[in-house]
Amino acid sequence: MDYLNLPRSLIYKDRTDLKDFGVQVINTVNHNLFSNLKMLFKATDRAKELILRSFNNAYYICTLIPFEDFPDTQVAEYEKLLLKDDLYDCEEICAVSMAMVCKLLPACDVRWRSENNDLIDSIQYRFTHYQWMNSGARKSFEFMEEKHNTNGLFLPPNEFAPRDIIEVIETFSVSDLQDYAEYISERLVHLEDPRQRMLGFNTARLRIEKYQRELCENTEYNPKKDCFEYVDNYIRDLTLEERVRNCYQKSKKAIEYYTKHYPDEENYQPKKQSDTKPSISDNEKLIAENEQLRQQLMQRVSGIHELSKENAELKEK
C-alpha cells in the first residue's frame, strides 16, 4: 500500500493546542523542543502558530515513517508532503519539522538511536545539501539539530500510534470508507481487542449499506434489475444514471472488501462462565457497594418515618 498518498488526516489527527503535546511538562522531550522553537521563532509575530505547525508536521512524519520498510529512501517524499499545500514559511517549517523528527524518533524507539542510523543520516544530509544548501531554512534545521537538550529523555513507545481507526470509521465520509477500505481494514486487523475489530468492520459496512439504500431511494434505481424505475416511466439524464450506477458499484465493491477481510468469529472467544466468576477483590467491592446502598435505603426509610410522624402530629392538632 502506498501510505504516502493517503490523506494526512486518515493517519494523523492534527492537534489544535500546544498543551496536547505536553510542552508545559518540564524536563520532557517536547518541553525542550518547545523551548528551542520559541528561541527560533521569537522574532516573528506568529510564533505560536509556527510552533504548532512544526509539532504537527513532525508528529505526522513520525507516525508515517514506521509504515515504510525503508524510510531512509523516502526522505525526499516526506519533504514533498510537508511542502505541499503550505501557505507560507513552508520551507522553514518543513526543515524545522524534519529536524524535530531526528529528535523525536530516537526518544521513542531504540532502533533509531544508533550513531549512524540510515534514516537520521539521510534526513540530516538532505536538509544540508541540494536546494537546502544555500537556503535560510538550512540554518533553522541546523539550529534545532545542534541543540542537545533532548538527549537522555524518552517518549512512550506508542507516542506515534496512527489515528484511532474506530474514530475514522465513525466520523469520516462514506466516500472515504470506500476509497480507503484497504487501509481501514489493515488498521482494524491490528486492533488487539477482537470486539473492537468486529465493531469497526460492522460499522463501516452498515454506513455504506445505508448510503446504498438512500442512493437507490433518491434516484429510483433498482440494483437487482440494474434499471431506474421511474413512476412516470420517462427517461431522465443518462449521464446521471451512469454516475449512479458507478457509485453503487463502488459501494458494493467496498462492502465486499470489508466482508472478505472480516475477522473470523472463532478468533473471538467470549469468556466462559467460570472465567467471569468474581474475584475476592470484586466480592469485597460488591459487599461495600451493597452496604452503602443499604445505609442510603435506611436513611430514606428513616426520613419517611419522620415525615409520617410529623403528618400524624399535624392531623391531631
281 or 24, higher pLDDT: 24
Mean predicted lDDT score pLDDT of the chain:
87
pLDDT digits (tens, 9 = 90+) for 185-205: 999 999 999 999 999 999 999
Least confident of 63-67, 128-132, 137-141, 288-292: 288-292
pLDDT, tens digit (0-9, with 9 covering 90-100), for 73-113? 999 999 999 999 667 789 999 999 999 999 999 999 999 99
Tell whether the model's pLDDT for residue 176 goes beyond 90.
yes
Question: With pLDDT > 70 as the criterion, what percentage of the chain qualifies?
Answer: 82
Q: What is the pLDDT of residue 307?
A: 47
Distance of CA 94 to the CA centre of its chain: 22
Predicted local confidence at residue 35, as pLDDT = 98
Residue 240 is placed in which grid cell?
446521471
Q: Is the pLDDT assigned to residue 285 strictly greater than 80? A: no
Q: How confident is the model at residue 304 (pLDDT cuts 50, 70, 90)?
A: very low
pLDDT at 214: 97
Whether the pLDDT of residue 267 is over 50: the answer is: no
Render pLDDT for 127-154 as a digit per residue (tens, 0 to 9).
999 999 999 999 999 999 999 999 999 9
Q: What's the mean pLDDT in 166-184? A: 98
Q: Who's near 270: CB < 8 A, 6+ residues apart?
A: none
pLDDT band at 263 (very low <50, low <70, confident <90, very high): confident
Query: Is the predicted pLDDT of residue 239 greater than 80, yes or no?
Result: yes
pLDDT band at residue 114 under the 50/70/90 scheme: confident
Q: Is the pLDDT of residue 207 over 80?
A: yes
**pLDDT at residue number 293:** 47
Residue 197's pLDDT is 94
Question: What pLDDT does 236 receive?
Answer: 75
26-30, 194-198, 282-286: least confident range: 282-286
Check residue 302 and give its pLDDT.
53
